[in-house]
């Protein structure tokens, strides 16, 4: 998992509440667990004008010009600005995979579905909770200023706006440490690899019969 320190990028405003995980990545694309390759199908049902199929050549599909992700002013966006209850619906981990694979590193919203919120941290995304007034203000500023960018500093827990002002945000200390050091669940486990090996060796010495392969046969 990539470390998260400071991220600066264009903000994409997704002005709708209750965006569920099927909206983020439709069910027909959940056939792989590689964590990569899902970005081209992010928001598929709204991004394209036809029905998305697995393994389709997305470069040949008709684009929906009215969908915010396809507007030139938001090309290469890294910060997703959203409304209430973002990531609701099923628990599919493919949703943060698709957002990350597309290039998003930060999500700003007033609230999130719990499972999606947790999955973001486990996959290198930073979901930030801001009050509704701050979110509404950001939507207005993004709309009024093409190329609007924010700089998110996880260590300082601040969001730097183009006018030089900052917004502070809260984040759980454990999750913050994991993001700063690029540690997912596997990475956290591997930090204790020596202790795990020592435990296994001691267990094997204390109970060797447990590790004996049975050669008994039945008739």
Please report, for the chain, the start and end positions of each structural domain, with discontinuous segments joined by +: 6-184
Q: How far is CA 58 from CA 12, 13, 103, 115, 144, in A?
A: 21, 23, 17, 29, 31
Mean pLDDT within 146-153: 98
pLDDT-derived band at 33, boundaries 50, 70, 90: confident
Q: What is the pTM of this model?
A: 0.86
pLDDT in tens, 130-145: 999 999 999 999 999 9
Average of per-residue pLDDT values in the chain: 92
Residue 219 pLDDT greater than 80, yes or no: no
Cα–Cα distance measured from residue 73 to residue 140, given in angstroms and rounded to the nearest whole number: 15
Give the pLDDT of residue 210. Answer: 78
Cα–Cα distance measured from residue 78 to residue 126, given in angstroms and rounded to the nearest whole number: 11
Query: What is the CATH number that goes with domain 6-184?
Result: 3.20.19.10
Residue 207 pLDDT greater than 90, yes or no: no
pLDDT in tens, 174-202: 999 999 999 876 666 655 567 777 787 78
pLDDT-derived band at 203, boundaries 50, 70, 90: confident
User: Taking Cα atoms as reference points, which of 101, 84, 97 lies closest to residue 19?
Assistant: 84
The SS3 assignment for 158 reads strand
pLDDT in tens, 43-92: 999 999 999 999 899 999 999 999 999 999 999 999 999 999 999 999 89
Give the pLDDT of residue 216. Answer: 54
């Amino acid at each position: 998992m990539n470390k998260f320190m400071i991220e600066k990028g264009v903000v994409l405003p997704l002005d709708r509440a209750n965006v569920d995980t099927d909206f983020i990545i439709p069910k027909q694309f959940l056939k792989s667990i590689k964590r990569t390759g899902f970005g081209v199908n992010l928001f598929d049902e709204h991004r394209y004008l036809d029905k998305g199929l697995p393994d389709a050549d997305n470069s040949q599909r008709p684009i929906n010009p009215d969908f915010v992700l396809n507007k030139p002013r938001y090309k290469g966006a890294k910060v997703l600005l959203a409304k209430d209850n973002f990531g609701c619906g099923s628990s599919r981990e493919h949703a943060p995979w698709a957002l990350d694979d597309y290039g998003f590193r930060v999500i700003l919203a007033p609230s999130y579905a719990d499972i999606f919120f947790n999955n973001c941290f486990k996959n290198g995304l930073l979901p930030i909770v801001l009050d509704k007034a701050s979110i509404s203000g950001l939507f207005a500023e993004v709309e009024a200023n093409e190329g609007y960018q924010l700089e998110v500093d996880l260590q300082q827990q601040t969001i730097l706006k183009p006018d030089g002002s900052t917004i502070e945000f809260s984040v759980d200390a454990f999750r913050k440490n994991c993001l700063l050091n690029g540690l997912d669940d596997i990475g956290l486990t591997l930090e204790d690899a020596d202790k795990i090996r020592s435990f296994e060796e001691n267990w094997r010495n204390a109970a060797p019969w447990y590790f004996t392969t049975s050669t008994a046969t039945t008739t």
